[in-house]
Amino acid sequence: MYRHARALLYGLGGAIGVSLLVGLPTDLIPNPWFVRMLEARAQDYVFLAVAAVLGGALAATYALPAACPRYEGRFAAGGVLTALAVGCPICNKLVVLALGTSGAMTWFEPVQPLLALAAIALFAVALVSRVQAVRAAALASEESVA
């Protein structure tokens, strides 16, 4: 029972963390620190919500016993790709520096949904790997007891 409550807390913390870490700098969550030059698209909120749910589910697996640290990089990469996917194309200084304002709108904006799909895939791969590791750890502990 205790593990399930802890997993729920980890999951909520992970979902809130992903939401804040991606939503604040991209101004999907209104705040006084960041300004979005172009209005957010409906898809940006959907991608943020999916990333938050997957990030929360992934975070919940860390409350359960398993040894699988090699997929943490995919979690971080998924978060970075999500931020790029939902951010304002002309607000990203690196994109504007590399492509210019018109290039950001012409080349980067159409690629953003693909970045979101890649981010979701990274989160999903990391989640599936963690769930498999948790299951393997549970089976190993059951076999050692028996």
Residue 19 confidence (pLDDT): 96
Calpha distance 34→143 (Å, rounded): 53
Below-50 pLDDT ranges, the chain: none
Domain that holds residue 25: 2-145
Residue owning tokens 């969550």: 29
Q: Are residues 120 and 89 in contact, defined by beta-carbon separation less than 8 angstroms?
A: no
pLDDT at residue number 129? 86
- Report how many domains make up the chain: 1
> What is the value of pTM for the model shown?
0.86
Q: How far apart are CA 145 and CA 50, in angstroms?
A: 38
How many CB atoms lie under 10 A from the CB of residue 86?
A: 27
Report the distance separating Cα 116 and Cα 114, nearest Å. Answer: 5
Residue 72: per-residue pLDDT: 65
Distance CA 79, CA 40 (A): 18
83 and 27 Cβ atoms separated by less than 8 Å: no
CA proximity to 16, closest of 59, 70, 45: 59
